[in-house]
Amino acid sequence: MKRKILFLVLSAFMYLASGCSKFLDIEPVSSATDENFWKTQEDANSATNAMYALLRKALNQGNGMAYYVYGDLLSDEISSSTDVDINPLVNMQLNISVPALETWRPVYQLRRYDIFYQVIDQANRVIQRLPKMDENVFNDVSVRDYYIGEAYFVRAFAYFYMARVWGTVPIITESVAPIDAVNLPARKESDVLDQSQADLTKALTLLKWSNIDQNDFATRANTGAALALQAHLSAWRGEYADCIAAAKSVLESGEYSFVGRDSLNYRGIYQGKSNEGIFEIAQNGENEGTNRGIGYYSLAGPYFRNFTDPMLRISQDYLKTLFKDSNDKRFKSVFDVAYSGNYALCTKYANVKYSGNTSNYNAIFKNNIIIFRYSDIKLLMAEGLAATGKNSAAESILNEIRTQAGLQVYKNEEPLKEAIFSERARELFLEGHRYYDLVRLYKNFNIYKFPESKMNQAQFNAKKYFWPFDPSLLSANPALIQTPYWSTVNM
């Protein structure tokens, strides 16, 4: 089975690397293999698993940093970076030019969505091919339907993710051979979100609370993951009644629970498959891990012996403003302010393994990418309740989170809605949420908290919060139009 998964993923990579001229000329599974594939349940499982492998590749673009660049680095969490490629991104200088041959540069990769369309194409293949397979090759027809549900979930996630990053992107719902690929115009953001919602609705009819293989808990989709995505999608659209309903179903399922905020337990969340994990990108298995990624950039000293200083700088003054109570268990468990007087270290991703005992051996970071977890959905429900005037219920959830962290209950130190977002900032620091939270805070509540040095309100209103398309995408696809703000600046 592993050989087949590897073949599927390598096919996608090799096709992308071949220099195709059209941005949709991407074929994660070679059509030449179709006649000899899709024959057994193992084939179906391999094809489904390949979607997650491709999603991991998409979220690890830009030296393993895509998920965190999109979700954290452009927010108020990081003040600067010593890395010459990352620092412009921290400052929201997303239009920096890249020489034509330097396709390895993070900003080039992050301005392109090729890999997301590999994910989508693989999901399309599963959706198209599995219903045509002989039902008798499956242990039960519900197994086949579950795999199809996973494909709808993954496609829904990919479109939702791209809608938050670029706003307007092409929609494609059928797998096509390269000879039939066409250059499609971007659709309206509302259309992309509608597609995500339609896929998610379908996924929820096919998935179950328990994964087919219990070892896939959190790392492959189930009903909990789909409902968590529904809660986020609804919150992004300002549809808070639907957000509350989805979040409530997750929280009352009994499938998830808090992890203690003391150091060893709390860091276990980021190694993966903790009691809080709802949906994660697997990177902590025996043959998994990254040699770059967020740990490489955020750690130093006793946590990562290769560096004496981290490449991402977290201001101690910012943390003092955010964590007003230094007794907060989360602050004590995953922040080191003693190592340097100039910055803080966030140690959430300090699960580092070495290939040997000397300093020049390779370091492998064994942390899952935590997409959705229990506390995230708790606070998202609190946001929805506050948005709909149910303040008492919102406060109750907020205080659950604060109690876990060893804090006193909320006492109107700041307006309730802002207090919930501040709690999300503390709870989900460097977990890929803060940037999108700040966008929602302004769009849905008219409260602006972005650093003015990165993006002022006028720039936000001009939709600077969306990423630009890389010029190479615009050249390859004449039907594509640059995102609003970035069309007004030199690329």
| Average pLDDT score over residue span 313-331 | 96
Burial of 181 per CB tally in 10 Å (0-12, 13-18, 19+):
middle
pLDDT of the residue at 183: 83
pLDDT in tens, 326-358: 899 999 999 999 999 999 999 999 999 887 666
pLDDT of the residue at 148: 98
Give the residue, 30 or 325, on which the prediction is more confident: 325
Instruction: Examine the pLDDT at 23 and tell me if it is beyond 70.
Output: no
pLDDT in tens, 277-311: 999 999 988 788 888 899 999 999 999 988 999 99
Instruction: Examine the pLDDT at 25 and tell me if it is beyond 50.
Output: no
Output the six-digit token pair for 460. Answer: 């936000």
pLDDT of the residue at 358: 60
Output the six-digit token pair for 97. Answer: 């030019």
pLDDT in tens, 255-283: 999 999 987 789 999 999 999 999 999 99
Q: Is the pTM of this model over 0.75?
A: yes
pLDDT of the residue at 11: 42
Torsion of CA 453, 458, 459, 460, to 10 degrees: 100
| Average pLDDT score over residue span 365-375 | 96
pLDDT in tens, 437-483: 999 999 999 999 999 999 999 999 999 999 999 999 999 999 999 99
Q: How far apart are CA 430 and CA 313, in angstroms?
A: 12
pLDDT of the residue at 356: 66
pLDDT of the residue at 178: 58
3-state secondary structure the chain: CHHHHHHHHHHHHHHHHCCCCCCCCCCCCCHHHHHHCCCCHHHHHHHHHHHHHHHHHHHCHHHHCHHHHHHHHCCCCCCEECCCCCHHHHCCCCCCCCCCCCCCCHHHHHCCCHHHHHHHHHHHHHHHHHHHCCHHHCCCHHHHHHHHHHHHHHHHHHHHHHHHHCCCCCCCCCCCCHHHCCCCCCCCHHHHHHHHHHHHHHHHHHCCCCCCCHHHCCCCCCHHHHHHHHHHHHHHCCCHHHHHHHHHHHHCCCCCCCCCCCHHHHHHHHHCCCCCEEEEECCCCCCCCECCHHHHHHCCHHHCCCCCCCCEEECHHHHHHHCCCCCCHHHHHHEECCCCCCCEEECCCCCEEECCCCCCCCEEECCCEEEEEHHHHHHHHHHHHHHCCCHHHHHHHHHHHHHHCCCCCCCCCCCHHHHHHHHHHHHCCCCCCHHHHHHHHHHHHCCCCCCCCCCCHHHHHCCCCCCCCCHHHHHHCCCCCCCCHHHHCCC
Instruction: Examine the pLDDT at 18 and tell me if it is beyond 60.
Output: no
Instruction: Examine the pLDDT at 196 and tell me if it is beyond 60.
Output: yes
Q: How far apart are CA 48 and CA 42, in angstroms?
A: 10
Instruction: Examine the pLDDT at 190 and tell me if it is beyond 80.
Output: yes
pLDDT of the residue at 286: 78
| Average pLDDT score over residue span 122-145 | 96
Instruction: Examine the pLDDT at 254 and tell me if it is beyond 60.
Output: yes
Instruction: Examine the pLDDT at 33 and tell me if it is beyond 80.
Output: no
pLDDT of the residue at 233: 99
Q: Report the percentage of the chain scoring pLDDT > 70.
A: 91
| Average pLDDT score over residue span 358-369 | 82
CA 328 distance to own-chain centroid = 26
pLDDT in tens, 208-226: 999 999 999 999 999 999 9
